[in-house]
Amino acid sequence: MSIENTALFTDRYELTMVSAALRDGSAQRPCTFEVFARRLPDGRRYGVVAGTGRLVEALAGFRFGIDELASLRGVVDPDTLTWLGDYRFTGSIDGYREGELFFPGSPILTVRATFAEAVVLETLILSILNHDSAIASAGARMVTAAAGRPIIEMGSRRTHESAAVACARAAYLAGMSSTSNLEATRRYGVPGAGTSAHSFTLLHTGPDGPDEAAAFAAQIDALGVGTTLLVDTYDITRGVATAVEVAGTDLGGVRIDSGDLGVLARQVRAQLDSLGADRTRIVVSGDLDEYGIAALRAEPVDAYGVGTQLVTGSGAPTAGMVYKLVEVDGIGVAKRASHKESRGGAKSAVRSARPTGTIVEEIVYAAGAEVPAVPGLTTTPLQIPLIRDGEPVAGLPTLTDSRTHLADALVSLPWEGLGLSSGDPAIPTRYVLP
């Protein structure tokens, strides 16, 4: 797969700063930038780090070629154009691995490089991490609410075409079983799923009116009896009867996409069982979020389809991550503006846990300092090396590794941290800083 050029996935003010820093000689000063979230979105008890793998890939494509430089003539001065033409990130990046939980103040990513090399990456880093982490955080809550039942991600038609691929990847990391997005399957190996829409049923309308049986027969002929038939285009009771009549009792599943899903699921389950199709699964969809999924937990639902509430801002509010300069020439620097304060100096973090594995707190301390002792508890370092001398570190976790890590991390949360109600972060963050 060719590497996408990501050099202009940035904001103009970053190049303005590079130009000014080149002119006054500060561009080469060694700096440390950190990514963190000041707070979690309302109602959230934890966040999920996602997008790190995509970021490492995107850095390889951060090159200013002939076309990119041509578009910047008149935007920046000639000296800056020359510098951009030679740009290669040569610094180091450490960060929380994908699938790790984060809380307010977590040093999610640490970038060490010259000022110019690091500052120009701000938008690329934040756009990937904020987007993917928001999707994964929302998806993890939905997976928890589903209590082991599979969820199909099907939000492609509700977001930007490129974002749809990233959403599918983040949703799979969060624990969803499959996606309807074919590019995510090709690019990232996310298992694919999908059957048909109401339009296919409506297509089978002739002079004598709708022919739902013909639509079902055509789908079964193409995909086999293990397929899932959409039964609520017209009358759902008649749709279920027709589905079993056409497919037989070995029909794989039926999907309900509208109405009172809980009531309909009970009715359909009873009808399927009465027709001898007791192994036919019921899949429900229709603007479901974690609360809607939780409300259906006691109903005879076998799988869920989610889309709008996963991939849009209402269902997946921004992760709120920021990218701040915290160290220049080894000296800590900090922003002091009201409500937007930062803590100076490069930082590391560990998470402490009881012998049972339940996590207790996150401890943020000065990078290079001794790890704070926590009597009776174990501590786990949270950052891992991602980039060294501009190159990805060998053996970074795969998407499957990260998916497994998140599943284990969620089990380690205190039970109240998995609740869907509003409250404080699942664990506190303690700062041990000079």
Which residue has 């939780």 as its token pair? 294
Residue 308 has pLDDT above 60, yes or no: yes
Per-residue pLDDT at 318: 86
Residue type, 263: V
Confidence (pLDDT) at 1: 54
Q: What is the pLDDT of residues 8-52, one digit of tens each?
A: 999 999 999 999 999 999 999 999 999 999 999 988 999 999 999
Residues 229-285 pLDDT 10s: 999 999 999 999 999 999 999 999 999 999 999 999 999 999 999 999 999 999 999
Share of the chain above pLDDT 70, in %: 99
Distance CA 412, CA 357 (A): 6
pLDDT greater than 60 at residue 94: yes
Contacts 24+ apart (CB under 8 A), 72-79: 72/15, 75/12, 75/15, 76/15, 76/16, 76/18, 76/19, 77/19, 79/19, 79/22, 79/23
Average pLDDT score, the chain: 95
Burial track 268-285 (b if 16+ CB lie within 10 A, e otherwise): bbebbeebebeebbbbbb
pLDDT in tens, 172-193: 999 999 999 999 999 999 999 9
Question: Is the pLDDT reported for residue 337 higher than 80?
Answer: no
Residue 59 has pLDDT above 90, yes or no: yes
Can you tell me the mean pLDDT for 402-407? 98
* pLDDT per position as a tens digit, 349-400: 999 999 999 999 999 999 999 999 899 999 999 999 999 999 999 999 999 9
Cα torsion angle, 75, 76, 81, 83, sign: negative
pLDDT for residue 3: 75
Distance CA 350, CA 307 (A): 35
> Under a CB-based contact definition with an 8 Å cutoff, are residues 142 and 289 in contact?
yes
| Strand 151-153 to 303-306 pairing | parallel
Least confident stretch, 310-314, 402-406, 425-429: 310-314
DSSP β-ladder status, 321-328 and 331-332: antiparallel
Give the pLDDT band (50/70/90) at residue 218: very high
Both tokens assigned to 97: 């691995």
Distance CA 369, CA 123 (A): 30
Q: Residue 314: is its pLDDT beyond 90?
A: no
In this prediction, residues 398-410 reach a mean pLDDT of: 98
C-alpha to C-alpha distance for 60 and 51, rounded to whole angstroms: 15
Task: Please check the confidence at residue 2 and state whether its pLDDT lies above 70.
Answer: no
**pLDDT greater than 80 at residue 132:** yes
Strands 321-328 and 359-366: unpaired
pLDDT of residue 424: 92
Percent of the chain with pLDDT over 90: 92
Tell me how many degrees the CA angle 64-68-70 measures, rounded to the nearest 5.
Answer: 120
Confidence class for position 83, pLDDT limits 50, 70, 90: very high
Instruction: Quote the pLDDT of residue 43.
Output: 86
